[in-house]
Amino acid sequence: MLFVLGRKNMHKLVKPIVSAVVGLGLAASAAIAQEDPVKVGVIFPFSGGAGPQGKHVSWAIESMAAIINEDGGVMGRQIELVMRDDESTPAVGVSRANELIAEGVEVIIEGWNSPVTLAMQPVINRAGIMDITAISKADPILSGEGNPLAVRFNSSNAQDGEVVAKYIVDNALTRVAFMTENDAYGNGAQASIQSALEKMGHEYEVVAEEKFPFDQADFRVSLSNVKSAEPDVTIAINANEGLGMPALIRQHSRSRVPGQLVAAVGTVAPSVIEVAGEAANGLIGADIYFPAVEPFASNEANMAFVSKTEELHDYTPDKFMALGAAALQIWAKAVEDTGSFAKEDVAKRMRGGSFEGTILGDITFGDNGQLNSNHYLFDVVDGEIVVRTGS
């Protein structure tokens, strides 16, 4: 039997079929979109003097991404890392940031050199992308001028300055020499130490002040000037951990500069000691993370991170690596908590917020986006970092 449908009846039949097909198509598209990976941008120096350290940070972020992906990803989506080398150069950093913006990343984790971070911040901010500074320490990074929703994991120059100043005061050191990287980071670090000394009411004299560019590796003339000033303590402020800081440590030892050599907070990783060799013995520093020292040694999240990094890269993570990994871990937690990848929502959750169960322990951010950190003094003994008990 043949049925002939009129135009009116045909319309009634076709319309629900089309609607059903379109609905199925939209649902399928939504399902596919839900399964698409979430792109995370990473910008660090992978070449030049800081190249080895930048690569190590990328390893740590890869390890954390693997942990998160094995646990189901972020909002049900796997993390895909998109990495770029900023070459420790502000203009290159800006170019790399624009590349990641074009890639459609949801967040950018960046920052070894403060000048590079400060150059990238306004570019990333204008694109409406969450920008997390893992390591760069200059105080203007949190001023709001380049990024009003800034978040930083490494301790600030102001926090670090108080630690070094307290060491000087506690040991009654009065003749102070500075070997300072001549950029936003180095000058800010020195200013913070001196500001803290003044607040503590400590009487001291700057007997020598030597400035140098980030890529300098020959400090013999500068150290000769410092030696002639006969300091009680020399503060080495050098973020070039792949080249500059090890060279400064070696040359300081060979120059037989009197007094104690103290490294600015966070500038001495195990890789620096390895390159500096025996000259590093006797060096004093301070930092905020050690993989096998309490309270980190018994932290389950940290233990899992250390294990994964050693599994994937045969390398035990240092403080810088932990900061890069923590940046990804806590961003992912903030996304899950807010149910959104939106920059404003995630930044609001992080700035002034608290998080439990991270590789850094239970943590809290200041309202300005600065992670509140605990500092630990250490000595280098027989090529190893030995944390001072109760520091």
pLDDT score for 27: 45
- Report the C-alpha gap between 134 and 217 in whole angstroms: 25
- Identify the band that residue 270 occupies on the pLDDT scale cut at 50, 70 and 90: confident
At 122-140, the pLDDT tens digits run 999 999 999 999 999 888 9
Quick check: 353 pLDDT over 80? yes
- Report the C-alpha gap between 97 and 264 in whole angstroms: 29
Question: What does the pLDDT average to over 305-331?
Answer: 96
Quick check: 17 pLDDT over 90? no
At 84-123, the pLDDT tens digits run 999 999 999 999 999 999 999 999 999 999 999 999 999 9
Quick check: 54 pLDDT over 50? yes
Determine if the pTM surpasses 0.85. Answer: no
Burial 131-147 (b: 16+ CB within 10 A, else e): bbbbbbbbbbbbeeebb
DSSP line for 20-42? HHHHHHHHHHHHHHHHSPEEEEE
Q: What are the distances in angstroms from CA 182 to CA 50, 128, 191, 197, 198?
A: 16, 32, 12, 21, 22
What percent of the chain is predicted at pLDDT more than 90? 82
Q: Which domains does the chain have, with CATH numbers?
A: 38-155+293-364 (3.40.50.2300), 158-287 (3.40.50.2300)
DSSP state of 360: T
Beta strand 107-110 with 38-44: parallel, antiparallel or unpaired? parallel
Question: What does the pLDDT average to over 207-217?
Answer: 96
- Identify the band that residue 391 occupies on the pLDDT scale cut at 50, 70 and 90: low
3 state DSSP class of 150 = coil
At 143-182, the pLDDT tens digits run 888 999 999 999 988 899 999 999 999 999 999 999 999 9
pLDDT score for 28: 43
Q: What are the distances in angstroms from CA 192 to CA 204, 253, 266, 358?
A: 15, 26, 15, 29
- Report the C-alpha gap between 351 and 139 in whole angstroms: 16
Question: What does the pLDDT average to over 5-25?
Answer: 45
Quick check: 390 pLDDT over 90? no
DSSP state of 130: E
- Identify the band that residue 296 occupies on the pLDDT scale cut at 50, 70 and 90: very high
